[in-house]
Amino acid sequence: MIDRLIEDIEAKKNPTVVGLDPTLEMMPEHLVEKYLGDKDPEAREDGNKTESVILNIAGKGSREQAVMRNVADMFVEFNKGIIDAVADIVPAVKPQIAMYEKFGTEGIRAYNETCSYASEAGLTVIGDIKRGDISSTAAAYAAHLGGAEVGGMVFDTWIEDAVTVNPYMGSDGIRQFKEECEKRRKGMFILLKTSNPSSSEIQDLVLGDGRTVYEAVADLIDEWGSDLIGRYGFSELGAVVGATHREQGEKLRREHPYMFFLVPGYGAQGATAEDVAGFFDKKHRGAIINSSRGITSAYRKEGRAGNEFADAAREAALRMRDQLRAAIGME
């Protein structure tokens, strides 16, 4: 994963990953009408269109199944629009599985269809799944990278090039993912210093030896990933470091030269291109910056019509690319 990602970042001169985190609120009106509306003119008049209208959704199975199927199909159509709009200018997408999982089995189907479509478009797919467990359970989760074997055949039940993983359980939770990274040239990003305010509650606790918990985790990630370093000097085992932690990110960059950072928190959480410039090394490598709503909801922020959502996303992605290029001096 890591070599290909770095090469694609350089080919496109853009260290951006687009977060595909759909919500109902984010959906353009024409998609809401198509999938959750609108056959009953009377229902329109009571001011709560969607509520009245989804009662009319029909199809196989229960009403719940039908509503969830339509939500899932709507998310897929939206995501395909975004992917088509940005595939030639960004190297990667990062679907956040929680936004799909919210809608149950159908939501998971939409997640898989999104990953599959992005992969076919040539993008690196980083599944933001934040899984973490032990032994046989970790092995089962590792199917995200390695597939599921049934009767001697391996089926790719998930379509991801890399996933995010939680380190709290230690190397038992890492090992099985790592084996798949090695076997299938996949990657993983281990939660290190997350972008949220309360990340301090555990990650910033100070150990007896003076390190913080997250600094100790960084040392572990170095150790775990030291034998999977690719041709550009970065390990397949990267780390998640929030853009909101400028100083910590710069220090981690200096102290962990082999560690590739997946960086959330840009834009919506307030961090700027200047804040993340120090997450890169002198060759402009070592990090990829995520933006989700800042790109996918740009049409809304700019007050544009819903059917311009893809155009607006492309323009926002180009602006972000140019801001990052300028901040890190990538030419």
Closest approach of Cβ 163 to its own copies, in Å? 12
Q: Which of 34, 80, 130, 251 is catalytic?
A: 130
Q: Based on CB atoms, which residue is closest to its own copies, 148 or 305?
A: 148
Put residue 229 in one of left, alpha, beta given phi > 0 → left and psi -120 to 50 → alpha. Answer: beta
Window of 99-107, 117-125, 230-238, 312-320 that interacts with its own copies by CB under 8 A: 99-107
48 is an interface residue for its own copies by CB under 8 A: yes
Q: Give Cβ neighbours of residue 23 (< 8 Å, ≥ 6 apart).
A: 99
Using DSSP's 3-state secondary structure scheme, residue 20 falls into strand
Among 288, 313, 308, 303, CA closest to 20 = 313
Residues 129-168 that bind its own copies (CB under 8 A): 130-138, 140-141, 143-144, 148, 150-153, 155-158, 166-168
Binding mask 6-25 for its own copies (x = CB under 8 A): ---------------x-xx-
Window of 85-93, 105-113, 117-125, 248-256 that interacts with its own copies by CB under 8 A: 105-113
Rounded to whole angstroms, the Cα distance separating 92 from 86 reads 9
Q: Based on CB atoms, which residue is closest to its own copies, 75 or 280?
A: 75
Binding mask 283-302 for its own copies (x = CB under 8 A): --------------------
Does an H or E element contain 240, and which?
strand 237-241
| CB of 243 closer than 8 Å to CB of 249 | yes
Rounded to whole angstroms, the Cα distance separating 165 from 163 reads 6
Tell me, yes or no, if 183 is annotated catalytic: no
Q: Which tokens belong to 328?
A: 């890190």
58 is an interface residue for its own copies by CB under 8 A: no
Among 232, 138, 146, CA closest to 187 = 146
Q: Based on CB atoms, which residue is closest to its own copies, 11 or 150?
A: 150
Number of residues that bind its own copies (CB under 8 A): 76
Q: Based on CB atoms, which residue is closest to its own copies, 84 or 156?
A: 156
The correct pick among 3, 33, 179, 213 for binding its own copies (CB under 8 A) is: 213
